[in-house]
Structure 1
């Protein structure tokens, strides 16, 4: 992670947890770590996960998605001579339809037919079919998809029938070493159950979704398991299986699941108000490294160092300032910006969470939990005409739009939200999330101002584009 060196006021942050050391008696050690024993009775030998599987398996479904893709083919343009000039994706030829199918798993989380799966399982699908363990098939309606968490929520008509479902468990109560079962449909061979343990918690360096925070397990997860259930030995849902770490495509014992607390918040949003409403923090920071910890006098690297605070946002209202170190949220430790984002995203709206924050001394602050405002209104418009940004859809940046696009940091101004393929903007390399900093040395204050600027004739265009912390200075002939 890139570290910005700034001049901070002298700070002292006191840790909120104590490390207890000392001698442990032999009796206590024996109680903590009992010796393994060979099964002695018939009942011990016959211990099995079968009772859990019988309860959970009927609520884990297979999901088949189907979409129609328009392509153009022609025997003439398949000739290597023409491909040399027109490439593989020639705009010529006869239009044809191609069917793409996708296979995954899902979990019924409500008796009225609400099902959760991964977004990548049903992405861009025209039809979604849900198949239960008893071979019944249902056409599913997509209630909503959340690309930031890679989750999708479906609904099937039950005609009053109560479907088997899996209850949520608080994923914050899960511990490393807990026994877990992964249930899904790997490789399309049918429903399969694998067992393992929780290998790690709060994995934030996976890079699967915007809100990186996963439960890691060594239970075998393979292609087709995506969207399936990770349950405890009581049959409660602790996560949705999402991805694996593998060079070959098969399981290496490193699988990742989205925690049930995040799943529950996404399901609640789509089933109650039709969208995901996440809590907004209104501040940004960086992970406390060893160098920063030494500079601040911390005992160890922990927490998130606040670098900027949005005026009148929740963090500002709570009295959090630049230079504070966020140590925990609601009693849960925060070690990096990803874990901070996760803790914020799973806070219930309208509630007030007690924070531990460091400034001149450790203190607790009350954070008002609310959604990000759309101020100013986005006023999205597609730029047209004979100019370099034609084909780009732009909008006024706001906290709500930044949250929607998964932008952790943002500045007021105009941002690109979409780029039409083969347009001048696409050929220039514009991407969603890019910010138009200036055009011919003038900063556009709004989408309307940018539209007027690009509508004027210019012999030469000087455009500055912001992408994250990078700046691109483009000079284009008119």
Structure 2
């Protein structure tokens, strides 16, 4: 029993010593923490305060202006380099046309070069200066007197880099664009500006979207392109109604298809239009042929005696029943003259049409006297005015139109014109009139 008591006392005595040691350690740690806190507070309080005169000096007004100008110059230089890089990249898609002294765009990988010409001043074979200042020959492709665009055909060339188009839909108001054009010496010129939206415009007989641009285009820009800063073609710079404008590049494919049509090529080469709605199914009698709807004054068709309302029935002794039968007229040929046969008001007529080799739409014939040129007067009677809702107005006649024929008879005076109109026993009368150098036929009911 006594041994058991000593064991219990010994065991609990050791635990009491451990507790006392732990209490001593905690007090020591607390004491150290208190001393460290006092040192930190004293150090912070004793640290010297910065003096007011130690602050950096404020720059003077002159120095502030100098620093501001340096920042602006760096920004301007950065933008200039950005525009220059974009223009240099875009210039790889441009060529120079020495004959028309204008820029053209490499349009596709098939060798199509897009030219902005409304004067039809491109010869059948023309030279093209490439981006590498190499010269190559190009054949005139599709061209139209009613469109501000035309095309050339060159052989495929690895150095030709076609443009890549982008729609106006991806642009936002205020986006930067760069107008780029080629120069005669092989370099390029450019004019940066801001996109301001688009609006419809009529150029000749074609509708386009005109791009609003903050910079006016100079003559040096004709035929060039309007590019975004990534090098994509946004617009083409053309002449429209005596103005230089940029039309949407997305409108060009449809316009090229239009001017490459047979109707447009007949107008460009010979100066006449036909009714393209006539097909072989519409032709009931072979003698009806293809009806002429318009003839331009002074052109090959006019000089051959073709009139609006005539029906072309034969081409070089080959029967013509539909418009496609006239396709040989626009093919290359060695013939100087082409024989056409037709019908005019049921009567047979023959025409000798100049082949139009190496020719373009010419100006109306002029007379020269002592070195002075003036328009050759034509027969016909001008219309002073047209009463609204009258048969003439409903037929489409306008004031200043010149009446050339009424039912195949040519009036020589106003009185004679009235007599011809009143003497006709037919319900419908065919009137051929000229307006702005174009002859058309009108049906008076």
Structure-1-length-normalised TM-score: 0.43
Q: Which has the larger radius of gyration?
A: 2
Structure-2-length-normalised TM-score: 0.45
- Structure with the largest fraction of helix: 2
